[in-house]
Amino acid sequence: MILTGWEAVFFWVFSIAAIFAGLLTVMARNTIHSALFLISALVSVAALFILLHAEFIAGVQILVYVGGVMVLFLFVIMLVNVGSEERGSEEIFNRPRQVAASVIFCALLVAALIAALNNGYAGLEKKDADRIQAAADENRIRDRKLPKSATGSSRITTDTQRMGGSLYRYGSLPFEIASVLLLVAIIGSVMLARTLKQEAAVDDVDPGVLQEEAAHDPELAKVQPEPLA
């Protein structure tokens, strides 16, 4: 996998954008700004996915992360009070010593990771050199056979088709389990975010706790649990 020409240019543009947006996510004082920088980091990573011929994952990333998860994040930021951090009356980082220790640790980790990657990749490249060259030629021949798109400027790839085929052929059980996981997550987040009044309305609170809370909340004392249908 070796990118050339405009692909290389786009690789550098989007990877530098992703890293800067990631850094600003961590360092921004305003939490809303953090969320918006995270959105731009996710979009840049989606562009890198497109460079890696994973168009489906890029689409899912933008639909699910940017369209779903980040909107959820923005709603929650608006529900809680982060004003003191924005105004500067609260520190945004932990105590300086902890920050220094974690930054040193992260710098060590990144140096070790990059050194290990470069050494390891040199060996891998040497091992696969002839296969990479042969496969690149094969891929070029295969791409030439693909049908042209409507504008004629590009070709219709079968990457997503292959991915979908593999997903349902080899991963159908995990796929079903993932759907159950999402159902559990939906029910769990609804259960977690209920107020005491909502819990009392369906008779889901410990009677002792309910009496204690109802003593200084007259609204809560009036709530009668609905009979189960």
Give Cα 224 to chain centroid, integer Å. 42
Q: Which stretch binds another protein (CB under 8 A): 95-103, 144-152, 200-208, 212-220?
A: 95-103
**The one among 148, 149, 155, 174 contacting another protein by CB under 8 A:** 174
Q: Which stretch binds another protein (CB under 8 A): 145-153, 163-171, 200-208, 210-218?
A: 163-171
Instruction: Quote the least distance from Cβ 134 to another protein, whole Å.
Output: 7
Q: Does 212 bind another protein (CB under 8 A)?
A: no
Cβ-in-10-Å burial (0-12, 13-18, 19+) of 45 comes to buried
Q: Does 13 bind another protein (CB under 8 A)?
A: no
The answer for residues whose C-beta is within 8 angstroms of residue 56's C-beta and 6 or more apart is 159, 160, 163, 164
Q: Which of positions 27-56 make contact with another protein (CB under 8 A)?
A: 31, 34-35, 38, 41-42, 45, 48-49, 52-54, 56
Q: Does 223 bind another protein (CB under 8 A)?
A: no
Structure tokens at 169: 């052929």
Q: Which stretch binds another protein (CB under 8 A): 15-23, 145-153, 209-217, 220-228?
A: 15-23
- Which of 52, 68, 66, 63 lies closest to 160 in space, CA to CA? 52
CA distance 161 to 114: 34
